[in-house]
Amino acid sequence: MAKTIAIIGDHFMLPEVFQDKILTLCGDGLSIRTRKDNWPDEPMEHGYAVQGMDGLKEYFGTADGVVDFIGDAEILVTQLAPMSRGMLQRLPKLKMIAVSRGGPVNIDMAAARDHGVLVVNTPGRNASAVAEFTLGAMLSETRKIREGHEALRRGEWRGDLYRADVTGRELNELTVGVIGYGNIGTKVVRLLRAFGAKVLVHDPYVQLSPEDAAAGVELVAFDRLLTESDVVTMHARVTAETKHMMNADAFARMKKGSMFVNTARGPLCDYDALYAALTDGPLGSAMLETFAVEPAPPDLPLLHLPNVTITPHIAGASVRTVTFAAEQAAEEVRRYLAGEPPRNPC
């Protein structure tokens, strides 16, 4: 009897890409059904806001709709579909869930373990995309790209941006502090090395790669990174230890005129303290890609500062992220069907 696979994609992680990658690796003889949800054209939901979905973070889709679609499928491949304890109780034939994200925040992992359901994910799926975006964010600020663009939009020719006391600086003359040395942080460091920047890294749980250490990258304490860096960029996970690690005290220790970049997660930063640091403190500018509440409320003061570049949480959005994540998920499906151990079990 053919194995049944349910694929729930969306307008980013396209279900047809999932299906194509699975068929390429696993061949025919599978029963596959697909569904395309309306994310990101409609916002995600959060578990704390919906009865029966506590324990889940961001997800898309209703419990009844997802359960009805999965039906008798043994395998679910998805990016955002929720899976709560109550849903698992209604899906006795489900044995594997492949989540095409860095973390399975849409799955109740304790319930999955209790029901004997294997959950795998796709770590690093967007690491290259976020790393490239981070460098672009730095260049936009350090080379005055945003300021020149906004001035021309207003009909103003900023010839003064050529003044030595106004114009931008090159990365090869700057010290960049990288907080977090995981999949994304390591790629950011590699790109910064290519630009010739002096790189400091803070991450108490890792060692530098031999290549980075040989290239002069230094693993340093948090305080030294703050006081010596011209640019500080965030690439840590949100934990009890890292939440609001960038607070009023941290910003006060940064260099005058320095730049802050957050393409990681909003809760890493106290944004009220950041606003004060940008208006009355040492910071010269900031680039913000993520927020503690998303979508960012229109009255958020940071949205209206002239020395801030802001984007709507799109650093990880690239065509390659789609295909790479689908390839990783398809490989996990192949391994499951072949009786091989998973590559990225959660």
Residues marked as catalytic: 265, 294, 313
Amino acid type, 217: V
| Whether 232 contacts 259, CB under 8 Å | yes
d(CA 337, CA 281): 57
**Strands annotated E in the chain:** 3-9, 30-36, 45-46, 58-59, 75-78, 96-99, 118-120, 175-179, 198-202, 218-219, 231-234, 259-262, 285-288, 308-310
Alpha carbons within 13 angstroms on the beta-carbon side of residue 327 total: 9
The two structure tokens encoding residue 206: 């890792």
User: What is 42-89 written as a DSSP string?
Assistant: S--EEGGGSTT-TT--EE-S-HHHHHHHHTT-SEEEESS--B-HHHHH
